[in-house]
Each structure stands twice: as structure tokens, then as C-alpha cells.
Structure 1
């Protein structure tokens, strides 16, 4: 389980995270992107001592897709500010259960809890709930095959488990997401059909807009290969 390198310079490391890999290390001791990146950079550039890697975003463990890491503290600070100001464009592709048509916008208030046995769990709550945070996304159905729908999701906010909870909340859980009501697992049982397909941001030092895309993993199968390929071309700016 190794991330694919999409871009590398003195300030950024952009990778495609595999489904099932942690973004950041936790008590399990399982492999994670941040520590993998430190080891890769240390080896690649023969660096002595500690290697700086700034984790400025996270993807859920069972999800896959584009992640950007900072190679300097200046880059980390500037990227963090972009995420805070919501100037980073984040587009996901998801396979959901059921037939979903058209497009829409979802606004919910989410509350996160953590249990030592079940891990992080997020639920939709009232806006008056103490500690709740607003979550907003826009979705558009791209294709439906055999009772499942390919959906493009654009995030306005970046809450934990946001896409999973919000799509599940309208009766269309993400394929394989047993935690949020999906009926059956996906592939190896450790991944879900949620993929960060596209990330657009301003380079922290050169200031020009950079766009990064990555295709979903093979576990998604071939049913949606054509609409996925077409959408990736659009996201990459080739159409």
C-alpha cells in the first residue's frame, strides 16, 4: 500500500492516497501517508535528521484520492490559510446506492463523536446542538448502472466524514460504507467508493493555480469507467 506521487517540488508533495491507508498516524501503528512521505523524502534526497512534512488536509482512511503535503513550514502556513479561506477547490467522485438524478445542494449540521470500539462517528443534528458544525456540499449525478449512481461532489466545507454522512442522509449511502448504512462491503471490505478526484490550489510560492487529478482505484469495477474517464478529463481541464 503505497501512495502514487502526482507532483513534487521544493515546496509541495502531492500524492494519490490508497484506500485503507491512514492520512496521519494513530494508536493502531498502521502505515500512514505523513510518515511514509517523511521516509520517502529522506531516502529520495538523502537528508540527514528529521524531515519536515506539513499535513494540511486529511482523507478518511477508507477513502482514496488526491492529497497535498507541504515540504516547508512556509508552504504549510500558506496552504493552511487557503483551506481556511475555502479557496481550495475539492471535487470528489462517489458511487452511491440507489438511483440518484439531477443535482442539488446539501446543508447540514454535523456532530462528531469518538468511541474506542467503533472509532469516529458523525451524525446530522439540529443547528442548535452545542459543538455542531455546518457542512455544505453540492452534488450532481453523472450516471446510473445496476442500481448504483456515480456522483460528482464539490465540497464547500471540509468536515470529518462529511460526504459520507450527507449522502447517506438523503438515502444514498456510499457503496461499501458499512458505517453509514451501506448494505454490502466494497472489494476487500476495507475501502469505500469515495475518491478525492481533484484538487486545485495556488502554489505557495509561485502563486499560480495548480490542478491535480487522480482516477479511482480498480475496486470500483468497470461499470462506470466511461463516465469517470469523461469527468476526469473535465477536471483536468482537457475538455
Structure 2
């Protein structure tokens, strides 16, 4: 029986906190913020319940399927100031991703502008991005960590903050992220998933029920002090690599 996966596999946790902000390690399948439906769990909803209804303000957000670090302000002023740091690229972000294939080099920088592709027979997903000559500037640095016969673990450093940037850039060089329904082997799989849920056919094409992208590290300077938060690769992605004999480097 096909089943649409809605529940996160583990609870979120606070990994770093001071009087102005906190950093949450978000599991996959958890929204960053409530939607209009307001009946699905989110990071902000979880924090509200955990902290007696206190208001919180997202500084960055992750896609529902992406796991890892979310920076949250404890008040509007702190969130606004942290947001300005993000806009000025003064908050360093690192991601881990499992991609198809083996990279030809250990280091590369992808500098390719991104924009909406527009609906067509080839692109049935309205939100889908792609490399566009007139698109917004976008830069991602990629470092290969370890590889197997068919997949590789890479570290990604987005230098800009475009929609789906890492996913699009990796797909554009022929190394889409494992489990990516929009930028993987066929964007029509995204519509099939939305209509029918997860099942054996999608598992055969995608390998994982979510895209294998994890926000693993944040670094920034705040009030004269250097702050760093880290979140290890979660068990679902680690297990996928273990099954293929691919080592996860420490740190």
C-alpha cells in the first residue's frame, strides 16, 4: 500500500541558544513554519509548545524534506538583525548532500544564474528552478567527501541564497541529489508523489523518500562573539551510505 509520509522520523532539538536566538536541528518532513492549513507540525509550532507559547521568528528556513539547522530569533529585533547578516552573506552555511554519480574533481565552484523555468510539457512543476541566462546570480562551492560506485557524499557551501539553489546547481552538473522529486530523474515524479504518495515505484526511481540534503553547520559573529552550530548527518542518510559502503568523514 502506498503511503504519503507526513511524520518526522525524530523530534527536533535545540543545539545552540543564547538570549537572542536559538538554532534548531530540524528533522525531515517537518515544516519550518505553519502553512495556511495550520494543521501540520512546524519548527515554530514546536517551539511555541515547548516554550509556553512564546513568540519566535525564523531567520532562515529549510524545505520540508531538508533536514538540519534552522536559525530562530527570540524577538523581532534580533531576527531582523540576524536576517541582515544573512543578506550580507555574513552567516556561513554548510550542507551535506548525497548525489548520483562520482564527481570528476574534489573541488568545484558552480557560478550559474537561476530562475523559474516556466510550465511546459518538459516541466510540469510551477516552482521548478533552472539555470537561466537572465536569472539571479547564484554561486555554490562543492567539495567531494567520499564516493561509491553510484553515489557520492559532498559538502556544499552556498554563497548566495536562491530558491532550491544547491539542488538545482548539483542537478545542472549531472549530479542530482538522491531522492529529489523535482530535480532528480523526472519532475513528473513530484506530481505522482503528490497524487499517490510514496510507494515501490517511486522508491525504485528515487532511492529515498526525501531528498538527501542536510544543513549541517552555521557560523556567524554576534555581539562580538563567534558562534557555531553543527548537526551530524541523520540516521536515514547515514544508513543509506552505510548500505553502500561509503564512509562518512568525521566533522
Please report the TM-score for the alignment, with normalisation by the length of structure 1. Answer: 0.82
Cα deviation digits, residues 43-88 of structure 1 (max 9, x gap)? xxxxxxx622111101111111111100012211210111011010
Match of 1:109 among 89, 106, 113: 113
Query: Which residue in 1 is equivalent to 2:41?
Result: 31
Contact 1:186 1:193 in 2 (8 A): no
Corresponding residue number in structure 1 for 2:3: none
Which residues in structure 2 correspond to 1:147-226 (within 5 Å)? Answer: 147-182=150-185, 184-187=205-208, 189=209, 191-203=210-222, 206-220=223-237, 221=239, 222-223=241-242
Q: 1:92·1:152 contact (CA, 8 Å) conserved in 2?
A: yes
The equivalent of 2:131 in structure 1 is 124
Which residue is 2:199 aligned to? none
TM alignment of 1:88-103, pairs within 5 A: 88-100=91-103, 101-103=105-107
Provide the residue aligned with 1:75 in structure 2: 78
**Distance in 2 (alpha carbons) for counterparts of 1:74 and 1:96:** 38
Distance 1:193 1:182, change over 3 A: farther
The number of residue pairs the alignment matches comes to: 215
Structure 2: stretches of 5+ with no match in the other structure: 1-7, 187-204
Q: Deviation of residue 178 (structure 1)?
A: 2.1
Question: 1:227, CA displacement in angstroms?
Answer: 4.7
What secondary structure, in the 3-state scheme, does the structure 2 residue paired with 1:78 have?
A: helix
Question: In the alignment, is the contact (CA less than 8 A) between 2:145 and 2:249 conserved in 1?
Answer: no
Q: Return the structure number with greater strand share.
A: 1
For structure 1, the 5+ residue unaligned runs are 43-49, 233-239
Which residue of structure 2 lines up, in the alignment, with residue 237 of structure 1?
Answer: none
